[in-house]
Amino acid sequence: MGQTLTEQILDDHLVEGDLEPGEEIGIEIDQVLTQDTTGTLVWLQFEALGLDEVQTELAAQYCDHQTYQFDFKNTDDHRFLRSAAGTFGAYFSRPGNGICHNVHKENFAAPGKTLLGSDSHTPTPGGLGQLAIGSGGLDVAVAMGGGAYYIEMPEVVEVRLEGELPEWATAKDVILEMLRRLSVKGGVGKIFEYTGPGVETLSVPERTTITNMGTELGATSSIFPTDENTKDWLERVGRPDDYEELTPDEDAEYHDSITIDLSDIEPLIAKPSMPDNVVPVREVAGESVDQVIIGSCTNGGYPDILPAAKMLEGREVDMRTEMIIAPGSKQASEMLAREGWTAELMAAGVNFSEATCGACIGIGHVPASDSVSLRTFNRNFEGRSGIEDDSVYLCSPEVATAAAIAGEIVDPRDLAEELGDLEDPGFELPDKYTGSKADIIEPDEAVDDDLVKGPNIGDVPLKDPLDAHLEGPALLKMDDNITTDHIIPATQDILMYRSNIPKLSEFTLSRVDDSFADRALESDGGFLVAGENYGQGSSREHAALCPMYLGVEGVLAQSFARIHKANLFNFGLLPLEIDAETYERIEQGDDIEIVDDVAEAVRSGQEEFTIRVNDDWEATGYLDASAREREILADGGKLAHVKAKHEESGAPADD
């Protein structure tokens, strides 16, 4: 039987296991990336593991999420990260050089290679045939030290593209259509592999908009084959030798197949406050718009911003609306500036931000209360923009610019008809990506050869091995689709404590219940209870580490998001799946006891655990974990586990 493209790449990198869906596999990682808000823990853990040199072909440290450096704590983090990159042998991309996914795509991503990144949108370069996966920082640290990365072999689902996008429909609308059909949990345990004649109608940056937002489906990754467009794009970014032809075997068998006829795609928009709340733009037309932002790792490249510049040439942003461009990379800004487009946009009333994540996580450009913001980003989880009860819509640059011109949501096709002289700007690539490389410090140019830690950079707390007896209150009962933004928000006031876990923990779940952290500390133990898809969104391991620090011992949920579940194992928290009836019956405050000898049961492979509630009724919790995950959990987390193994054998940390 032939192989899918995903299977081919995994096979080339397989170090353990079989490519059977649901089975755990270990793969070798060629490249890693990390960024400023997850990177500090990555390097602190790399250090704690006793590792002293990057072992992967390439490692890159970006400073992109919080580049305004409002507080010395952010700047200290950046200085520490530069020193870590220098000390251990990684590329360092200076603050303001751009968002990790954009800069990595433009400078390092290569077809056929594996990439592991401590950011959930790491799958972005799947658009050029790289198998890229997001994970918690500890997994990145281990991979960077030469260890394998373990995942459950996903189901490979074909997304067959036919036809060609009509005028005003874009790649963003393709992935919004996927979200409309499949929902934010439709991709859990899956890799989406794009095939079919429609593929060749999309350029690499259009493909990477689709693969970037595959994360919002909950997917492990998304990937496109390579072709003339990939070759052409790699030439434009000055890396023609990185091209490799990659296609699935003709007789490849997919677990499932979805067909999208591109010619049926129309401008779509995700309404507040979930990326799968997708409707045709026409359905919400007429809604007044206060803010428009074009940018982010989804649509922040030069060719994503160019349509806005073309649409606004000779026009002005409506008086009711503020429009901001947040470029994905400084290279995009530099090229737009050199070609005069920045001046055109500024003359139209547009403001430019640094090339940073910024507004995407509520750092700057926080919307006004009761206002509408249209963004070309990938997430619109409630409160993520920096204000509770926000109203953030997600759309393409064309739909966003049309709204900026009209001052209200409008389908660009209708605006074009109304204005008479507004043409579809199309999607145009630059002849060459000509931005300077001044902000990338190569490992052999390193400025530092020792770690520089400011006062806000603490140690990573360790947990004791799992107890035989787990008992405590249901500290908090939550709904479906709780995001890691709920668990540890990423807004500026909180983000600056990412390297200081005791302080950061004070904000745990504050967006759901601001008394949670105090109650958890006082109770010294207990459980979280949640519905479906608990922990979707960001890869931030802080969302497991902080509850662990507060004494939480386990999470009882109807289902878990992939990266977060791995993070729960990595920090020694027991993730038990419960059914809908048990979820309904458990009340916040109930006394929960796991009746079995938990440590022993976890190690021995037991799958069903008896949950005793209020000493009154019992239910079953299921532990879906590999033998490796069970050992990690029982040892009190991956750091403790790898260190123990390392000490035992004196071998490199490759668990």
CB of 299 to ligand SF4, least distance (A): 10
DSSP state string for 267-279: -EEEPTB-TT-EE
CB of 34 to ligand SF4, least distance (A): 12
Q: State how far the Cα of 224 lies from the Cα of 215, in Å rounded to an integer.
A: 15
Using the rule CB under 6 A, is 221 a contact of ligand MIC? no
The contact pattern for ligand MIC, residues 358-397, with x = CB under 6 A and - = no contact, is ---x------------------------------------
What are phi and psi for residue 343, nearest 5 degrees? -65, -40
Which one of ligand SF4, ligand MIC, none is in contact with 540 (Cβ closer than 5 to 8 A by kind)?
A: ligand MIC
- Asked whether 501 and 556 are in contact (CB, 8 A), the reply is no
Coil, strand, or helix at residue 302?
helix
CB of 462 to ligand SF4, least distance (A): 28
The tokens for 567 are 């993070």
Q: Which residue has the tokens 């434009």?
A: 236
Using the rule CB under 6 A, is 357 a contact of ligand SF4? yes
- Asked whether 593 and 611 are in contact (CB, 8 A), the reply is yes
For ligand SF4, the closer of residues 504 and 576 by Cβ is: 504
Q: Classify residue 469 by burial, with Cβ atoms within 10 Å: 0-12, 13-18, 19+.
A: exposed
Using the rule CB under 6 A, is 103 a contact of ligand SF4? no
For ligand SF4, which stretch binds (CB under 6 A), given 50-58, 180-188, 354-362, 500-508?
354-362
Which amino acid does the sequence have at 475? L
The contact pattern for ligand SF4, residues 278-317, with x = CB under 6 A and - = no contact, is ------------------xx--------------------
**Ranges within 61-100 binding ligand MIC (CB under 6 A):** 65
The contact pattern for ligand MIC, residues 533-562, with x = CB under 6 A and - = no contact, is ----xxxx----------------------
Q: State how far the Cα of 154 lies from the Cα of 220, in Å rounded to an integer.
A: 7
Q: State how far the Cα of 378 lies from the Cα of 393, in Å rounded to an integer.
A: 10
For ligand SF4, which stretch binds (CB under 6 A), given 44-52, 375-383, 442-450, 507-515?
375-383
For ligand SF4, the closer of residues 66 and 499 by Cβ is: 66
Cα Rg for the chain, rounded, in angstroms? 24
Which one of ligand SF4, ligand MIC, none is in contact with 220 (Cβ closer than 5 to 8 A by kind)?
A: none
For ligand SF4, the closer of residues 195 and 215 by Cβ is: 215
Please give the DSSP secondary-structure letter assigned to residue 106: H
Which one of ligand MIC, ligand SF4, none is in contact with 99 (Cβ closer than 5 to 8 A by kind)?
A: ligand SF4
Using the rule CB under 6 A, is 492 a contact of ligand MIC? no
Which one of ligand SF4, ligand MIC, none is in contact with 395 (Cβ closer than 5 to 8 A by kind)?
A: none
For ligand SF4, the closer of residues 6 and 215 by Cβ is: 215
Please give the DSSP secondary-structure letter assigned to residue 408: B
- Asked whether 64 and 36 are in contact (CB, 8 A), the reply is yes
The tokens for 2 are 């032939």
Which amino acid does the sequence have at 172? K
> Cα-Cα-Cα-Cα dihedral of 299, 404, 286, 172, to 10°?
-10
- Asked whether 80 and 39 are in contact (CB, 8 A), the reply is no
For ligand MIC, which stretch binds (CB under 6 A), given 114-122, 254-262, 432-440, 590-598?
114-122
Give the distance, in angstroms, between the CA of residue 70 and the centroid of all CA atoms in the same chain: 24
**Ranges within 31-90 binding ligand SF4 (CB under 6 A):** 65
What are phi and psi for residue 85, nearest 5 degrees? -60, -45
Kindly list the residues in this chain that would bind ligand MIC in the complex (CB under 6 A): 37-38, 65, 119-121, 361, 490, 537-540
Residues lying near ligand SF4 in the complex (CB under 6 A) are found at 65, 99, 119, 121, 296-297, 357, 360-361, 377-379
